[in-house]
Structure formats: structure tokens, C-alpha cells
Structure 1
């Protein structure tokens, strides 16, 4: 479980950083070379998600979504210097609970 948490956090940071590089290039007029580290970061993100011990990729990705949302709110605050409001926090908390239900729910044989 600890490994999964570290993988999800690493994947979230890699995905956000990769997408942010595209955002900066397209929306903020940064040079095209911003895309090179962004693409590498997105490749790292994809590789990290394959490291999660799960019997189904879709379930692993769904649970990761909650972690991604929390990481995105942290990015908003720490990198973009925009303080999250109560709706950001409430929405992120709801998503994290949903991710925990998906990841930790008791499974029955089908």
C-alpha cells in the first residue's frame, strides 16, 4: 500500500509537470523547448502507473484520479501561487474518499 501511495504521488507530479509545460508553451508563449521535458515527464507518468499492483488497469487509473486532484490543488497553491478556496478543498476531499473506496474496497470473485 505504501508503494502504491508513492507511485501515485510521483505519477501525479510527473503528469502535472508534463501538462504544465504544454500549458506554458501554448498559453503563456514559452519557447517550444519547454515541450521536451514535458514529454519526458509524461512518459515517466505513464511508466509509473504501470508499477501499481492491481488486477485491472482501469481501477488503478480511477483510484489514481483522486490523488491527481489533490496534487493538482497543491500545484495550484505552490507553483501557481493561487490559494485554493473552500470549494477546491471540499471537492478534492470528496475525490480522495472516492479514490480510497475504489482502491480499498473489498472485492468479490466474479
Structure 2
């Protein structure tokens, strides 16, 4: 159960970061309304707070989070942007998740 909690926490953390970065991208690249910067800022604040909820040292959390972020970003590409990930996107995501698992699940003394 603890592992599932950590995996879900990584996913929610990644979504908060992606939303916080995607909304300004929409404003700058697609001319969307400036008010979108307010939920973007709130989302990035939530992202920073969510990182503090992870159960391991900050550096290890940040390192492992990178793998989760890559996979969630590829999912975002498909679900939100409507672009189906390619073979190499999937392979890269799986490799990143393998790295995350090694960092988070390695036995420690």
C-alpha cells in the first residue's frame, strides 16, 4: 500500500507541475488569456508542496521524480494534446520508470 501511495503521489506531483507550466505555454504560444497565469501559479505552488510529502530525502525524491515526470508528460502528450506517443516515447518512459524504481526501491542500510 505504501508503494501505491508513493506512485500516486509522484503522478499527482507531476500533473501539478505540468499544469503549472502548460498554462503559461498556452498564454505565450497560443495567445490564451493572461488570467490563466493565476491557476498556473497555484498549480506550481501545489507542486512544490506535494514534493514535501514524499517519504524520502529531498535529493532522492527529486531524482526519482524525474522518471515519474517523464512518463506523466508522455501521457499528457496523448491525453491533453492529442498526440499519440511513438515507440521511442514509450521506451524512454519505461527506462525512466525503471530508473525511478531503482532509486526508490533500492535496499538502504
Do the two structures share a fold, i.e. TM-score over 0.5?
yes
TM-score by length of 1: 0.93
Instruction: Pick from 42, 46, 49 the counterpart of residue 48 of structure 2.
Output: 46
For 1:70 and 1:59, the matched residues in 2 are separated by 18
Deviation at 1:29, TM superposition (A): 1.0
The aligned counterpart of 1:102 is 103
For 2:75 and 2:4, the matched residues in 1 are separated by 20
Q: Which runs of 4+ in 1 moved over 6 A?
A: none
Q: How many residues align?
A: 107
The aligned counterpart of 1:84 is 85
| RMSD across aligned positions (CA) | 0.9
TM-score by length of 2: 0.94
The aligned counterpart of 1:9 is 11
